[in-house]
Amino acid sequence: MADEREATVSSHDLTAPGPMELGVPGFSPTATMVDAELAGLEAREGLVPAVSKRRFKSLGWGFWVAVAIVGAWILVAIFANLLPIPDPNSVDVNCLVSTSPSSSHLLGCDTTGRDILARVLFGSRVSLVIGFASIAISEVVGGVLGLLAGYFRGSLDEVLAIISNSFLSFPFLVLALVMVAYVGRSLFDITLIIAILAWPILFRVVRAATIEHAQRDYVLATRALGAKSWRVLTSLLLPDVVPTAVTFGLVGVAVAVVGEGALSFLGLSVPAPTATWGNMIAQGSTSMTTDLSLLLSPAVAMFSFILAINFIGDRLRGVLNVRHGAL
Amino acid sequence: MSPKRHVREIIDREDRPLLQVENLKTHFDTDHGLVRAVDGVSFNLARGRTLAVVGESGSGKTVLSRSVMGLLPHQRVIREGRVHFGDVDLTGTTERELRDLWGAHIAMIFQDPVTSLNPVVKIGRQITESLRHHLAMGRKDAKETAIALLRSVGMPEPEQRLNWFPHQFSGGMCQRIVIATAIACGPKLLLADEPTTGLDVTVSAQILDLLNRLQQERYMSMILISHDLGVVTGRSDDVIVMYAGKIVEKAPTTTLFRETRMPYTEALLRSAPRLANASHTRLHSIPGSPPDPSGYPTGCRFAQRCPYGQPRCRVEEPPLRQADSPGHVFACWYPVGTPEGLQALETNLAHNESAAVALVPGEAI
Amino acid sequence: MVAARRILEGLATVLLVCFVTFFFTSKMPGSEAAVICGPAGTACVRHESAILYLNHPFFERFFHWLGELLQGNLGVTLAPPEPIGSVIAGAYPITLELIIYSQVIAVVVAIPVAMWSALRANGLFDRLSTTATFATLAIPVFIVGPLLALVFTVKLPWFPGPAANVPSLWSDPGQNLYVMFLPSLTLAIGSIAVYQRLLRADMVATLEEDFIVMARAKGLSTARILFRHALRPSTFTTMTVAGIQVGSLITGAIIVETVFALHGLGSVLTAAVAAKDLPTVQAVTIVVAVFYIVCNVLIDFLYTVIDPRVRRGRRA
């Protein structure tokens, strides 16, 4: 968005008349403020060239940088054990002398003498596995329920809406903590807990998209021709709602990673000694007066991943014209 | 009502008009291109007189009124020309200085009364606001003045109504409130931008009569903007007919109706909605729609739709020229009611189409 | 009428939360009695179970427990046994203050920033603030907190570090607000970003309304137009979202309490979860639910104050 806006003409250029830089894409305050009807603009709306093509081009280099960052983290998470780094849980006696960065420990060591770089890279595994797996479960559960509720409406829809609303409205972390107390804190438990908390988001998004698409002419026409419900759902509506589900799913991954991070930070996610970004940040925040690297390294790692994945989601949402109103 | 602050005195000499507009242009730099909403408009308005500005939607009437006042967006606007209000040059004044005039000496009434009142502010405060601001009135004085104002615009039980919110009133009542707000500080110039659009016919007539009465009582100058020539009859001294950002005919009201010269005015007169018609209906008897304000054709801007149109109209732009009666000007090569005009019309009828249109075959109207 | 219905709905939700937490607690394998007794043996379990009313049918236990709850008896924490009610009473003021203080900071910062952004939409300041809030939204509280603590307590020692002693708000308000500022700011960061974005968007729309043009035509100053005419109609979305935000504020407060070692409800809950102290988890959950619902009823009420169109029965 920002690079587009920079291209718009600044007010200083307007004091003099003459050829203006016309057809600049982006938001124009004047067009909306001047009564568009009186300026005779409404008749021109049909003449605006197809926006979507331009928008796809305007994904910009920032989008691809974000994709590269997310891709890199996925590769790191998969191949962490092949990388030339020490074992994340092994204690290096040299580190007990000095924890500061050295050639053998690029980011230094933590207070117990473990390599920070290795722990950050291995820590991505917990975050990414929980992030992607929990959202995958939510996509399936929330997506299917959303499609059904949005298509059939009725009491099924109402009951699911009440359930999802109450899930969404209650403090996320309180529910997560309560479930940790009752269920447990293995990698599988945490994935499941976050999936249970995240499905209502995707349910609502998919439901809203389904309702919108189900009212379109081609869907109504297909139904009028006597197509079976499951056919309409799978061959017409499913492809329509997938872009929405995927873009919001990406944002969901960021939410899940933050959620897991919060639990780890409180020491209530996957138990030690497994490295997670959250528990490293917690550890780092207690020793920040002596060792900044332990706090900053996992923080930067997590921030880069969340920012990149949010950015991708945001851009895709703009390009695919997925409305915010869906929530 | 002692003017303590903010009200700047306007020296308004009898020997010259209150409002002088010279070659006013207002262009908007939009994403669709440069929109030339007002494209060189000049007129004078004397104290106590009413000027009507008439034209179709999109002719630039609203922008003209806002541009006269200087009430334009801050960004991407080009405004040229001169506007003199009394001894003040409105075009060479900063917005900060203009604010001392706005509301105090120049006031405006908007198209939609319901949306021009703040939905979350009691109407009493919306009226007293400018009194307290411009005239530095105390709370009590302002309240009493507001009650008097509401009474003068025909609001029943004004004392209680002060504490009501806009949504509790009908459209007609809202417009009365807007009018009360506008005239609160005793402005010299009132700009009424289609003040009766969206009101039903009887209410519309009441509001227009109210405006006329107030204008005479308070010796205000008024610019009355309308798309309906019928509204203007008997309620204005002079009429300006606008088309595509320009004045195409200007005359004293009676002259305009008697000695119409511009084919566009004639078409407007023919299509003037009778009182019974719903407001804002498209004027069906004029084929086509106004040209794209971001790219006007060369020549006369009305040529495409003109029943009198000739090849010359598509090439040369007619200047405003003097008609027989004093104060009557128009812009047309083949004016209505003249031999040239008659001939042009006959030629077109013989070809069963406008010659100007025939110049560009295949172009849809 | 509307308010009464909201309150009834709220009560129903609280009751539901009570039931669900009670249901799960009672179904857990490690029963309370077993946790208390540890390896002490079955005799102890039997004794404790009698005290805890554990041998009765499910609904009887539920209503007994609910009755106790209504009398303010939230039960007893597991080791060391303390009345949960007094533990919560000691902890909730910190959490409540944290949330209110953070919202005050958020509103004070977000309103001017949003106004300035909206006034010069797409200008330099607008683009900077929009980019900043986008980035801010991506930083979780548990990263913001330690970073702020690092900068403002270690690098620039302007504020006391974590684990500082917090005096009571009533006995020493100055010191209390000073110590609580950094934690509250931490919690406020997310709210600032959310409110700025919503307010800016609504404000841009409001500034295009006719009544704003009319206010300009009255010759009012920009500041007056912004605060008197544009602000209130621009807050509807923000208000609605503020209601939804209460949930994430509570989430944030739990983390902020851990970062700054404050003894609030969040740290009580965290400790209880770590110790598998189910009665305490249950009690805190119910308190949070009540708080959450009270907040939402309050916001609904505030909504009617701000938007007169929502009020009913005024017109004769």
Q: Over the stretch C181-195, which tens digit does the pLDDT of each residue have?
A: 999 999 999 899 989
Which chain A residue has its CA at the smallest distance from B27's CA?
Answer: A17
Question: Domains of chain A: which residue ranges?
Answer: 117-327
Residue numbers in A near C276 (CB within 8 A): 181
Residue numbers in A near C127 (CB within 8 A): 2, 5-6
- Distance of alpha carbon B306 from alpha carbon B325, whole angstroms: 24
Min Cα separation C81/chain B (Å): 54
| B28-37, B75-84, C61-70: segment of lowest average pLDDT | C61-70
Which chain A residue has its CA at the smallest distance from C285's CA?
Answer: A174
B120-161 pLDDT, tens digit per residue, is 899 999 999 989 989 888 999 999 999 999 998 889 999 999
User: What's residue B169's pLDDT?
Assistant: 92
Domain count along chain B: 2
B76-103 pLDDT, tens digit per residue, is 888 999 999 988 888 888 888 888 889 8
| B258-262, C5-9, C50-54: segment of lowest average pLDDT | C50-54
**What mean pLDDT comes out for the span A100-113?**
74
Min Cα separation B321/chain C (Å): 35
Strand pairing partners for B246? B243
More confident residue, B278 or B198: B198
Residue numbers in A near B364 (CB within 8 A): none
- Partner-chain contact B76 A9, CB within 8 Å: yes
Which chain A residue has its CA at the smallest distance from C287's CA?
Answer: A174
Map residue B43 onto helix, strand or coil. Answer: strand
- Distance of alpha carbon A225 from alpha carbon A228, whole angstroms: 9
Which chain B residue has its CA at the smallest distance from A44's CA?
Answer: B292
**What mean pLDDT comes out for the span A8-12?**
33
| A73-87, A132-146, C137-151, C299-313: segment of lowest average pLDDT | C299-313
Question: Which subunits have 3 or more CB–CB pairs within 8 Å of chain C?
Answer: A, B
Please choose, from the candidates B220, B219, B262, B216, the residue with its C-alpha nearest in 3D space to the C-alpha of residue B240.
B262
Structure tokens at C241: 């979202």
Identify which of A33, A295, A307 has the shortest CB distance to residue C208.
A33
- Distance of alpha carbon A319 from alpha carbon A117, whole angstroms: 36
- Distance of alpha carbon C241 from alpha carbon C62, whole angstroms: 35
Question: What long-range pairs does C124-129 form, CB within 8 A, spacing at least 24?
Answer: C126/C200, C127/A2, C127/A5, C127/A6, C129/C196, C129/C200
Min Cα separation C228/chain B (Å): 9
pLDDT class of A34 with cuts at 50, 70, 90: very low
Which chain B residue has its CA at the smallest distance from A49's CA?
Answer: B32
What are the C-alpha distances in Å from C189 to residues A170, C155, C156? Answer: 21, 20, 19
- Partner-chain contact A171 C131, CB within 8 Å: no
Identify which of C24, C28, C127 has the shortest CB distance to residue A2.
C127
User: What's residue C13's pLDDT?
Assistant: 74
Map residue B221 onto helix, strand or coil. Answer: strand
Identify which of C216, C217, C229 has the shortest CB distance to residue B118.
C229
Residue numbers in B near A51 (CB within 8 A): none
pLDDT class of A324 with cuts at 50, 70, 90: very low
- Rounding to the nearest 10 degrees, give the CA dihedral for residues A88, A90, A94, A99: 40
Residue numbers in C near B115 (CB within 8 A): 209-211
Contact yes or no for B103/C219 (Cβ under 8 A): yes
Min Cα separation A151/chain B (Å): 38
**What mean pLDDT comes out for the span C272-300?**
84
pLDDT at C166 over 90: no
B176-222 pLDDT, tens digit per residue, is 999 999 999 989 999 999 888 878 888 888 899 999 999 999 899 99
Q: Is the peptide bond before C80 cis (omega within 30 degrees of 0)?
A: yes
More confident residue, C4 or C46: C4
- Distance of alpha carbon C88 from alpha carbon A25, whole angstroms: 56
Which helix (H) or strand (E) covers residue B30, if one does? strand B19-30
- Distance of alpha carbon C224 from alpha carbon B116, whole angstroms: 17
Phi then psi for B291, rounded to 5 degrees? -70, 160
Listed residues B139, B168, B184: the one ending a domain? B184
pLDDT class of A29 with cuts at 50, 70, 90: very low
Count of Cβ atoms closer than 10 Å to residue C109 Cβ? 18
- Partner-chain contact B178 C214, CB within 8 Å: yes
Residue numbers in C near B74 (CB within 8 A): 120
**What mean pLDDT comes out for the span B303-309?**
88
Structure tokens at B29: 């730099």
pLDDT class of C121 with cuts at 50, 70, 90: confident
Q: Is the peptide bond before B297 cis (omega within 30 degrees of 0)?
A: no
Question: Which subunits have 3 or more CB–CB pairs within 8 Å of chain B?
Answer: A, C
C194-209 pLDDT, tens digit per residue, is 899 899 999 998 988 8
Map residue B119 onto helix, strand or coil. Answer: coil
Give the architecture (CATH level 2) of A117-327.
Orthogonal Bundle (1.10)
User: What's residue C2's pLDDT?
Assistant: 59
Identify which of C138, C146, C278 has the shortest CB distance to residue A295.
C146
Substitution target in A63, A162, A173 with the highest count of C β-carbons within 10 Å is A173
**What mean pLDDT comes out for the span C237-265?**
86
Q: B7 in contact with C at a CB cutoff of 8 Å?
A: no
User: What's residue C106's pLDDT?
Assistant: 93
Please choose, from the candidates C159, C114, C137, C111, the residue with its C-alpha nearest in 3D space to the C-alpha of residue C259.
C159
**What mean pLDDT comes out for the span A154-182?**
82
- Distance of alpha carbon B50 from alpha carbon B68, whole angstroms: 15
Which helix (H) or strand (E) covers residue C242, if one does? helix C236-259
- Partner-chain contact A278 C142, CB within 8 Å: yes
Please choose, from the candidates C282, C280, C272, the residue with its C-alpha nearest in 3D space to the C-alpha of residue C24.
C282
User: What's residue A310's pLDDT?
Assistant: 86
Residue numbers in B near A29 (CB within 8 A): 73, 75-76
- Partner-chain contact A23 B76, CB within 8 Å: no
Question: Which subunits have 3 or more CB–CB pairs within 8 Å of chain A?
Answer: B, C
| A58-62, B14-18, C95-99, C226-230: segment of lowest average pLDDT | A58-62
**What mean pLDDT comes out for the span C20-37?**
62
- Partner-chain contact C251 A29, CB within 8 Å: no
Min Cα separation B115/chain C (Å): 6
CATH class of segment(s) C85-315: mainly alpha
Percent of residues, chain A, with pLDDT higher than 70: 78
pLDDT class of C95 with cuts at 50, 70, 90: very high
SS3 string, C87-129, reads HHHHHHHHHHHHHHHHHHHHHHHHHHHHHHHHHCCCCHHHHHH
- Partner-chain contact A29 B73, CB within 8 Å: yes
- Average confidence score pLDDT of chain B: 85
Contact yes or no for B289/B295 (Cβ under 8 A): no
Structure tokens at A100: 């500061």
Min Cα separation C193/chain B (Å): 26
- Distance of alpha carbon C298 from alpha carbon C163, whole angstroms: 33
- Establish, for the pair of chains B and C, how many residue pairs have beta carbons separated by less than 8 Å: 79
Alpha-carbon radius of gyration of chain C? 24
Alpha-carbon radius of gyration of chain B? 22
Contact yes or no for B87/B24 (Cβ under 8 A): no
| A219-233, B6-20, B279-293: segment of lowest average pLDDT | B279-293
Strand pairing partners for B51? B223, B238
User: What's residue C43's pLDDT?
Assistant: 56
User: What's residue A290's pLDDT?
Assistant: 74
Please choose, from the candidates B6, B309, B225, the residue with its C-alpha nearest in 3D space to the C-alpha of residue B133.
B6
* Tokens 């548990």 sit on residue: C142
Question: Domains of chain C: which residue ranges?
Answer: 2-70, 85-315
Identify which of A16, A33, A40 has the shortest CB distance to residue B293.
A40
User: What's residue A15's pLDDT?
Assistant: 28
- Partner-chain contact B168 C306, CB within 8 Å: no
- Partner-chain contact A299 C141, CB within 8 Å: no
Contact yes or no for C120/A29 (Cβ under 8 A): no
DSSP B303: G
User: What's residue C37's pLDDT?
Assistant: 53
Count of Cβ atoms closer than 10 Å to residue A141 Cβ? 17
Domain containing B341 equals 260-363
- Partner-chain contact B112 C210, CB within 8 Å: yes
What is the sign of the dihedral through the CA atoms of B119, B121, B123 and B129? negative
Map residue C31 onto helix, strand or coil. Answer: coil
B244-273 pLDDT, tens digit per residue, is 999 999 999 999 988 999 999 988 888 765
> What type of residue is C258?
T
Residue numbers in B near A35 (CB within 8 A): 62-63, 111
Listed residues B145, B161, B184: the one ending a domain? B184
- Average confidence score pLDDT of chain A: 75
> What type of residue is A301?
A
User: What's residue A263's pLDDT?
Assistant: 92
- Distance of alpha carbon B65 from alpha carbon B83, whole angstroms: 11
- Distance of alpha carbon B223 from alpha carbon B235, whole angstroms: 11
What are the C-alpha distances in Å from A41 to residues A46, B60, B294? Answer: 10, 12, 9
pTM score, whole prediction:
0.76
A254-276 pLDDT, tens digit per residue, is 889 999 999 999 988 888 788 89
Listed residues B184, B204, B223: the one ending a domain? B184
Substitution target in C127, C254, C278 with the highest count of A β-carbons within 10 Å is C254
What are the C-alpha distances in Å from C112 to residues B88, B122, B294, C117, C118? Answer: 35, 25, 37, 8, 10
Residue numbers in A near B58 (CB within 8 A): 37-40
Q: B32 in contact with A at a CB cutoff of 8 Å?
A: yes
pLDDT class of A13 with cuts at 50, 70, 90: very low
- Distance of alpha carbon B305 from alpha carbon C37, whole angstroms: 97
User: What's residue B360's pLDDT?
Assistant: 40
User: What's residue B111's pLDDT?
Assistant: 85
**What mean pLDDT comes out for the span B336-360?**
75
Alpha-carbon radius of gyration of chain A? 25
| B337-341, C43-47, C115-119: segment of lowest average pLDDT | C43-47
pLDDT class of C286 with cuts at 50, 70, 90: confident
Q: B292 in contact with A at a CB cutoff of 8 Å?
A: yes
Please choose, from the candidates B349, B165, B341, B201, the residue with its C-alpha nearest in 3D space to the C-alpha of residue B275.
B201
- Partner-chain contact B31 A33, CB within 8 Å: no
